[in-house]
Amino acid sequence: MSIIQFKEANCKNCYKCIRSCPVKAIAFINDQARIVEEDCMLCGNCLTVCPQNAKIVKSEVDTVKGFIRKKEKVYVSLAPSFVSAFENADEVWLYAALKKLGFTYIEETAVGAAQVSKKYDQLIKEKKMKNIITSACPSITLLVQKYYPELVDQLAPVVSPMIAHGKMLREMYGPRIKVVFIGPCLSKKDECNDLQTRGVIDAAITFEELDAWLLEEGITDDIDLTDEIKGVRELRARIYPVPGGIIKTLESRNNKNYQCLSVDGVERCIKILDSIKNDGLENYFIEMNSCSGGCIGGPCMKHIKGGFLEARRRLLTYLKRGLKEEKLVSTRDSKVDLKRNFFDMQKKGAVPSESAIQGILNSIGKFTADKELNCGACGYSSCRDKAIAVYNNRAQLHMCLPYMRERAESMSNLIINTTPNAIFALNEKLCIQEANYSAQKIFGLNKSSLEGKSIFEVLECGDFQFVIDSKKNIYDEKYYYEKYDMTVTQSIIYVPDQNIVVVVIKDITDEERQIQKMHKIREENVELAQKVIEKQMRVAQEIASLLGETTAETKVALTKLKKSIMSEMGDVK
């Protein structure tokens, strides 16, 4: 499971995370960002820049709570930058708060940092390495192993202060204890699971996670502050979190074997590594920290009011105060093995041919070099880099914003200017801002003289004023413009976001004339039919009259005949 995770619903395709990622270890698949774990150096830049808070950090707080519930002995390795993370609480309060959460023992990671500095001193004195790049920052060691494998032998073969301190705690209190690191660092979560150091640190939680946990438990300033505070023998090691802090802890910092240099921030570290790789720099002891401002600028640092300057001031004040308080000094030393090996972890993606790259560029309208804007909006530094990412299924074609905008604009213009309907865009004063080709043609207008002209100078209709005043739309209303002898159906739509009115007019004059012609024909046909009916009725009446007279006469004759016959029958009898 990835340490950095994305909330799918929140990713808005702004590509800010890719732009901020120094190694482009983010892929976009189906419009959703994904961390490419094998390439990620866990610098945390994508966390801090995401405007949608779409990225979250895998939490191990529940794991630590489980240790405590099971009555395990849980020891804390506390990064000294804690004094810069909790604005209204000093170290005494935080130690007591951690005890209240259920931790068995709390000690500063600076205990391990002091031992790491001794190893660095030894490497400087031996002068066996071309350059010495500090290995205290896990993100830097990942960067070198994944992207500068040829410089792996220049990483100091020493564990980080966290691992050193974890080993020392287990050396003193037994291997069965649980050790939890608390600090501002994201990559420490990954370092806990490194094959070489697995089992030394059982879990790592951030200051932000700790703060949320304290709030959840309702732990406030009103707690028992009687617990003894444990310190370190080498109090200078508390300065590790600030740029140049490691160098200041070295006994041999003014040596002649190596020139000491401090570099913080991923971009600057990459530039230095490029110089070492390409320019053959030698005899440098380089303190590298991926976070700008050192550990007190970490991605999971609980930032306080005053920012970096206040965080640095609080840490230096804590260091100076500790130097004066003998009760904080511990005389413990250690003989644990602090050796660490580093390896080539580079994963090379497929390298497309020049024709494949050009084919991808052509598919987004970049047929010539001048079309390759290299604007960086997609997150990649050049159009070619983005094309390579597309080839490796890490990016999508439509991530090119200039191309998509140009395409959208051309499609919109094509639709608007080819529709047979007249379209006007009016501002809040009902002055014409835009009129499409059909509007100009239908009403015999000249585009050059249209802009800024009142719609009432073109079309006399009170509905425009009604819509802008009432903000109520009118749809498909039939209207006759006497000036143009034209019948239309028009929709007048208010757009609140832009405070404009859009008018869509369909000329139905020919249809209306055809309807009127057909109506006249129908009226004539009805009149003709009525005349025929009336004539037929008269004929029918005349026929009926004649039939009535002849029937009466026939009846009289037959009656007489009947009587005559009956009379004759009576005589016979």
Give pLDDT tens digits for 39-98. 999 998 888 888 877 778 889 999 999 999 999 999 999 998 888 888 766 777 888 899
Q: Average pLDDT for residues 439-462, to the nearest whole number?
A: 85
Tens-place pLDDT, residues 366-418:
888 888 888 888 889 899 999 999 999 888 888 888 877 777 666 667 777 78
- Mean pLDDT in the chain? 86
Angle between helix 138-147 and helix 266-279 axes, rounded to 10 deg: 40
412 C-beta neighbours (distance < 10 Å), count: 10
Q: Over 70: is that where the pLDDT of 549 sits?
A: no
CA distances from 58 to 48, 63, 143, 200 (A): 15, 11, 21, 19
Is residue 572 included in any domain, yes or no? no
Considering the domain architecture, whether residues 49 and 66 belong to the same structural domain is answered as: no
Q: 317 versus 413: which is more confidently predicted?
A: 317
| Confidence (pLDDT) at 327 | 43
361 is a domain residue: yes
Q: Are residues 311 and 376 in the same domain?
A: no
Within-domain flag for 571: no
pLDDT of 112 higher than 90: yes
pLDDT (0 to 100) of residue 230: 53
Asked if 294 and 374 sit in the same domain, the reply is no
Neighbours of 12 (CB within 10 A): 13
Q: Interhelix angle for 207-217 vs 61-69, to 10°?
A: 50
Better-predicted residue by pLDDT, 55 or 151: 151
- Choosing from 507, 528, 552, the residue where a domain stops is 507
Residue that wins the pLDDT comparison between 408 and 529? 529
Count of domains for the chain? 5
Q: Which range of residues forms the domain containing residue 531?
A: 516-564
Q: Is 70 exceeded by the pLDDT of residue 172?
A: yes
Query: Distance between CA atoms of 206 and 182, rounded to whole angstroms?
Result: 6
Output the domain CATH number for residue 457: 3.30.450.20
Question: What pLDDT does 340 receive?
Answer: 94
367 and 479 in a single domain? The answer is: no
Looking at the predicted structure, is the pLDDT value of residue 224 above 70?
Answer: no
Question: Could you tell me which residue, 204 or 221, shows the higher pLDDT?
Answer: 204
b vs e for 76-100, b when ≥16 Cβ sit within 10 Å of the residue's Cβ? Answer: bbbbbbbbbbbeebebebbbbbbbe
One domain, residues 400 and 474: no
pLDDT at 233 over 60: no
451 and 360 co-located in one domain = no
Using alpha carbons only, what angle is made at residue 393 by residues 390 and 394, rounded to the nearest 5 degrees?
75
Report the alpha-carbon distance of residue 492 to residue 184 in Å, rounded: 57
Do 380 and 424 share a domain, yes or no?
A: no
Contacts of 92 (CB under 8 A, 6+ apart): 225, 227, 229
pLDDT for the residue 573: 45
Q: Are residues 233 and 308 in the same domain?
A: yes
- List, in order, residues 6 or more apart from 240 with CB less than 8 Å away: 80, 109, 110, 113, 136, 161, 246, 249, 295
Same structural domain, 112 and 231: yes
- Indicate if 97 and 175 belong to the same structural domain: yes
Are 31 and 76 contained in the same domain? no
Please tell me the number of Cα atoms within 13 Å of 506 on its side-chain side: 10
Contact predicate 64/203, CB 8 Å: yes
3-state secondary structure of 497: coil
Query: Quick one: pLDDT at residue 472?
Result: 93
Inside any domain, residue 301: yes
Task: Report residue 208 as tokens.
Answer: 């932000």
Percent of the chain with pLDDT over 90: 45
Both 44 and 88 in a single domain? no
Spatial separation of the C-alpha atoms in residues 468 and 503, rounded to whole Å: 12
With cut-offs at 50, 70 and 90, classify the pLDDT of residue 572: very low
Q: Is residue 194 part of a domain?
A: yes
414 assigned to some structural domain: no
* Structure-model confidence comparison of residues 119 and 224, the more confident one: 119
Strand intervals (E) in 297-412: none
In a domain, 333, yes or no: no
The percentage of residues in the chain with a pLDDT greater than 70, rounded to a whole number, is: 89
Q: What pLDDT, on the 0 to 100 scale, is given for residue 331?
A: 44
Residue 484 lies in a domain: yes
pLDDT at residue 326 tops 70:
no
> Comparing 139-148, 333-342, 474-483, which segment has the lowest mean pLDDT?
333-342
pLDDT of residue 328: 44
